[in-house]
Structures are given as C-alpha cells and as structure tokens.
Amino acid sequence: MTAALDPGEQYTDFTAWAKENGTSINGIAPARFPGRGIGIVASRNIKKGEVLVHVPTNSLLHIAHPSIRAINLPDSTTVHARLAAALALWYTTTTKTTTKTTTKTTTTPPSSNPPASYSPWQKTWPTPTDLKTTLPIYYPEALQTHLPPAATHLLKQQLQNLNRDWTSLSPTLNPTITKETYTYTWLLVNTRTFYYTYPHLPATSPLLPTRRRSKLTASHCYALCPFIDYFNHADTGCTPHHDRSGYSVAAERDYGPGEEVCVSYGAHSNEFLMVEYGFVLDCNAWDAFLLDALLVPLLSGGHKEALREHGFLGGYVLACEAETQVPVVCHRTQAVLRLLVLGSSRYADFVSGVDDGLGEQASVNQYLAGVLVKYSREIVGILEEVQDLDLKKEVENDDQEEMVEGQRETLVKRWKQIQDMINRAIIALQP
C-alpha cells in the first residue's frame, strides 16, 4: 500500500467548506500520494455499499446553474466552452480598464456568484504547471510527433475542439483572459467534469442544452463536482452516480484504513487516459491498441469500398481478454483480415454470418502475426528515437528540463506497454 500523506492546509479548508455547503463526507479524506498527487483514502474501515460522499445538486456546477447562466455568451457556445469561460472569468480576478484619462485595476464581477465563494475549491485545483507537466497537449513537438497513432488522433481532436471554442468565444470574453488562461480552464473542465444528465430539470426544460433530455449527447452532459473530483481513476473502482438530489460515490467493495479509494471514469485505454487526463495505468484491464495504422495502409481502394459498405472500415482493436489478459482482436479486425487474406467471397460469407470463419482462422492468425512482428520491430526503433531525443533545446531552465523528462518517461512507458501487448499477441497467434 502506497503511503498517504497530509495533503496540506488548503485541502483541509476546502473539505470544511464543502461540508458547510451541504456535501456529506463519510469515512474518507483527501491525501497526497508521493509522485501521484492528490487522491482519496479511507479514514476507517468501510463496507461495500456505503455512500462515501454526496454532493447536493446546488453545489454542482453545470450550464443550468444560475452562476453559469448569468454569464452572457453566444447561444452557439458549446457546454465545454461555456464552463471553461465561466472558470476563466471567475478566477481572472483583476483587469485593467483604460479610459481617456486614467488606467485603473478593478475586480471583475462576471456572475451572480462572486469568485470568493468558490476560492477554497479553486485553491485545490491542479495548477497550470501541473497540467503542463502531464498533458500531451503541452508536450514539445519532438515528443508529440512520437505519440502512438491513437494518441496522435485524440490529441488532434482535442486541439481542434479547444481552438474551435477559443475562436468562437475570444471576441466576447474579457480582454484580460488570454488564450493561455482559457486553455488552462478548458483543460480543467476536460479533466475534472463528470457525466451529468440534469435529472433535476423537467425533460423539456429551457435550461437544458438541448430541447429535450432525450436529445442529450455526451458533449452536453458535463458537471463539475467539488470534492468528488479528488478521486483518482482505476480500471476497477467505485462508480459515481447522479440523480435529482446530486452526485454520489458508494464503495464497490470493503476498504481498510489508509487504503486509496478510486473511481472508474469508464472503460478507457491508456492512450485515452494519457491524452485526456495525463497519466497511464500500470495495470489496465481496459487497455487496447488501435490497429488502424497497421491495417488500413494494406487495403486497396476496392477493399475500402467493400468495408465501408458493411460499416467495417476502421476501428480495428487489439485488446486483452478480461479473464486471462491474453491479447485478442475484435470482430471488425477479424473481418478486415479475411478480406486481406482470403478475398472478397470469404469475407462476405464471414460478415453475413454464413461462415463463422473458424476453418481459416490459422491462416488469418499467421497473417496478423506477421504484421505485428514487423510493427514490434518498428517500436524498437521508436523507443530508441524517443530516448535519444535532445530535449534540452526545448527548455529554458532546470524546472522545465525536469518537466519534459517526465513527459518523455510517460511516453516511453506507453510505448513499452504497447510493445508488450503486441509481443504477447504474437505469441498467442502462434499455432
């Protein structure tokens, strides 16, 4: 068990503030874990099913909250952008207002809730430096160009979404809010919100981000949950739950005093966790590797058209079987391999269900093993390149050098995990 340390006075103050604002905290406390930051530990013996924390609805921050609605933003603003703008406005505490005769510093009053009301919570947030240390969006270009394929795709999407939101809002925001500040609060929203369907509102409430609750998508369902955002993620852990009364976390098993209590953000691969949250798990039952970069270049135009017709173009996943942790490929991968190895007729039989494909499985396995062997050799070269990169030219001081070395370490760790998964898959594919 990793030693849990006192997190500091600001966390004690915030916990007291949370309780004063209606949050119930039962048998747990924030703690600092060396090398991993803040998390939650059991402060006593906890039984499975006990509610550990409940944050009432009026303490959740979402776009239907009065303090968010009070901020005048274009109707087209995304939920993510609106929350990020609110945080940026609240915590940009001073602005210089220039007139013809004087320049003065004033406190910005952006909403009905003054910034001070949330200041105990704000003091516990990850700092900009914390985010820059961990998130690939801040990696130097030399490291970004060596991200695994799926991580590269996720980062590209993340940057597109950030730039879309900034471009749409920057003309209307307080001029003291720079893109750097907005990026920070946008990433806070990205890393610290929970899925929320506004159950306290009627199904057709005008406060919903869509006309009807039935039209909500994941991009609409964001809420910031003070205190619950302390929980770290594990592949198996407590499942947060929300209803009309608020957000809760209950123990999914028994815990002993001093044991870390985690929640599960969902069934996410380590590349997703790396790009979206800035970490990779040592053990992740949901880890996977996307094979598109290996298999799609092998397809002809005719292959792609046939796959597109059946909805099988892309999304080829190598993952680990839940019980044995032996790497296996998904049904979509089995389909594309049959098209590559056996031709269109046998592929059509497989995707239509006429043939289960077991008779040709050995040939398909042999082909995939060859593809993976080639890629495993490429990974050896990628690891050498990453480890040999001269990153000193990317930094200005010793602190930045330590930061980029930590980023390099995370990237190397992820590539080694992929290498291990690929090599274990090669062994499993052998006759």
Cβ neighbors of 9 (< 8 A, separation 6 or more) are none
Decide: 321 and 288 in contact? Cβ < 8 Å.
Answer: no
The distance of Cα 282 from the centroid of its chain, to the nearest Å, equals 16
Average pLDDT, the chain: 90
**β-sheet bridge partners, residue 222:** 195
Task: Give the global pTM.
Answer: 0.91
pLDDT score recorded for residue 93: 53
Decide: 22 and 32 in contact? Cβ < 8 Å.
Answer: no
pLDDT score recorded for residue 1: 59
And the tokens for 86? 């609110």
The string of pLDDT tens digits covering residues 193-233 is 999 999 999 999 999 999 899 999 999 999 999 999 999 99
The string of pLDDT tens digits covering residues 248-271 is 999 999 999 999 999 998 899 999
pLDDT score recorded for residue 359: 87
Gap between the Cα atoms of 64 and 57, Å rounded: 11
And the tokens for 91? 């915590």
pLDDT score recorded for residue 320: 87
Please report, as a single letter, which amino acid is at residue 169.
Answer: L
Decide: 70 and 237 in contact? Cβ < 8 Å.
Answer: no
pLDDT score recorded for residue 109: 38
Residue 32 three-state SS:
strand
The string of pLDDT tens digits covering residues 274-299 is 999 999 999 999 999 999 999 999 99
The string of pLDDT tens digits covering residues 136-181 is 999 999 999 999 999 999 999 999 999 999 999 999 998 889 999 9
pLDDT score recorded for residue 106: 33
Scored b (16 or more CB within 10 A) or e, 97-128 reads eeeeeeeeeeebebbebebeebbbbbebbbeb
Gap between the Cα atoms of 244 and 198, Å rounded: 8
pLDDT score recorded for residue 348: 92
- Residue 405 binned pLDDT confidence (cut-offs 50, 70, 90): very high
The string of pLDDT tens digits covering residues 318-377 is 998 877 778 899 999 999 999 999 999 999 999 988 888 788 999 999 999 999 999 999
Domain boundaries, the chain: 288-429
The string of pLDDT tens digits covering residues 87-136 is 998 877 533 333 333 333 333 334 434 455 788 999 999 999 999 999 99
Residue 57 three-state SS:
helix
* 107 backbone φψ class: left, alpha, beta (φ>0; ψ -120 to 50): beta
The string of pLDDT tens digits covering residues 28-41 is 999 998 877 899 99
